[in-house]
Chain A
Amino acid sequence: MVALALRILQAIPALAQSVPFLSALGPVYFHLFLVGWVTQLIFGVVFWMFPKFSMERPRRSENLGWVTFWFLTTGLVIRVIAEPMNSLEPGSTWGWLLVLSALLQWLAGMGFVINSWVRVKAK
């Protein structure tokens, strides 16, 4: 919903031109849609429905699942704020926040791969 709302705001020429922050939100829109919605939806459904790891630990590591969720969400939120701010003020603290965002999202992706890999089992 946030991604779609952002798209509406960007499509209003007068608004996009008068608010520089909005015009810098192009990559943010794509990633809100593809990471915030598509990827999170896939991660959630895979965590829920893939074959059980074992009877004792059906989802392998619930903790790693939660870490994946919070790292992905936090990393994306930081990006939503820091990416347009960094384009308006390059070379500031916003740049380091983008590095943090990249690290959090990367760790989330690796956490998901590690937790899901062993649940992909051929019968």
Chain B
Amino acid sequence: MPILSAFFIRTSLIYLALGFTFGALMLANKGVPFGSSIWGLLGSHIEFLMIGWIIQLALGVAYWILPRFSRGPSRGNELLPWLSYVVMNAGIWMDILSPLFREIPWLPALGKTTQTVAGVLFLVHAWPRVRPLGK
């Protein structure tokens, strides 16, 4: 697999481990309460698993296996998906860390906007690679 896919997928595995850890702590705390502050992990649990794990895994696998071009760079413009990787992770951490920076009330919105930009960057890269066989 290309190195960018390895970056996307290994990063997604780290988020999976974090997301499962936070989820397990919250579930255990629901059964046998040991700290009310544990519920503060809910936002990170969802963010890590939905965006960090599932979406990044999908982007990494898509970059790897979508049809390639016969002329020029086989996977097209590589800059856009690399930017997407960096911007996506920046967006995730802006969102995750926003509770620590309450003096910046627009940080969660910026994080989500950044993630959307990352999605658009990947879309622009992947769009021409999604085509029927022989085209």
* Interface set of A (CB-CB < 8 Å, partner B): 34, 38, 42, 51, 79, 82-83, 86, 94-99, 101-103, 105-106, 109-110, 112-113, 116-117, 120-123
Contacts A99-B31, A102-B31 given; 10 further ones with Cβ under 8 A? A86-B30, A86-B31, A101-B27, A106-B20, A106-B21, A106-B23, A112-B16, A120-B9, A122-B2, A122-B3
**Interface class of chain B by DSSP:** helix
Q: How far is the CB of A36 from chain B (nearest CB, A)?
A: 14
Residue-wise, chain B 15-59 has the 8 Å CB interface mask toward A (1 for contact) of 011001101110110111000000000000000010000100100
Task: Give me 17 A-to-B residue pairs in the complex whose CB atoms sit less than 8 angstroms apart, sorted by A's number.
Answer: A83-B27, A86-B30, A86-B31, A95-B31, A98-B31, A98-B32, A101-B27, A102-B25, A103-B28, A105-B23, A106-B20, A106-B21, A106-B24, A109-B17, A110-B20, A120-B1, A121-B1
Please tell me which one of the listed residues A96, A109, A120, A121 contacts residue B16 in the complex, with CB atoms under 8 A apart: A109
Verify A121–B6 contact, CB threshold 8 A: yes
Please tell me which one of the listed residues A42, A101, A102, A106 contacts residue B54 in the complex, with CB atoms under 8 A apart: A42
Verify B54–A120 contact, CB threshold 8 A: no
Do A120 and B27 contact each other (CB < 8 Å), given the known contacts A96-B32, A99-B32, A106-B20?
Answer: no
Q: Which residues of chain B come closer than 8 Å to A101, judged between CB atoms?
A: 27, 31
Do A120 and B25 contact each other (CB < 8 Å), given the known contacts A102-B31, A113-B16?
Answer: no
- Please report the C-alpha to C-alpha distance between residue A99 and residue B31 in the assembled complex, in whole angstroms: 6
* Interface set of B (CB-CB < 8 Å, partner A): 1-3, 5-6, 9-10, 13, 16-17, 20-21, 23-25, 27-28, 30-32, 49, 54, 57
Which among B16, B20, B31, B49 has the highest number of chain A CB atoms within 10 Å?
A: B31
Q: Which residues of chain A come closer than 8 Å to B6, judged between CB atoms?
A: 120-122
- Please report the C-alpha to C-alpha distance between residue A96 and residue B49 in the assembled complex, in whole angstroms: 25
Please tell me which one of the listed residues B2, B23, B32, B49 contacts residue A95 in the complex, with CB atoms under 8 A apart: B32
- Please report the C-alpha to C-alpha distance between residue A53 and residue B82 in the assembled complex, in whole angstroms: 26
- Please report the C-alpha to C-alpha distance between residue A86 and residue B32 in the assembled complex, in whole angstroms: 10
Q: Which residues of chain B come closer than 8 Å to A116, judged between CB atoms?
A: 13
- Please report the C-alpha to C-alpha distance between residue A73 and residue B123 in the assembled complex, in whole angstroms: 34
- Please report the C-alpha to C-alpha distance between residue A98 and residue B23 in the assembled complex, in whole angstroms: 12
Q: Which residues of chain B come closer than 8 Å to A98, judged between CB atoms?
A: 27-28, 30-32
Q: Which residues of chain A come closer than 8 Å to B17, judged between CB atoms?
A: 109-110, 113
Please tell me which one of the listed residues B3, B5, B24, B30 contacts residue A103 in the complex, with CB atoms under 8 A apart: B24
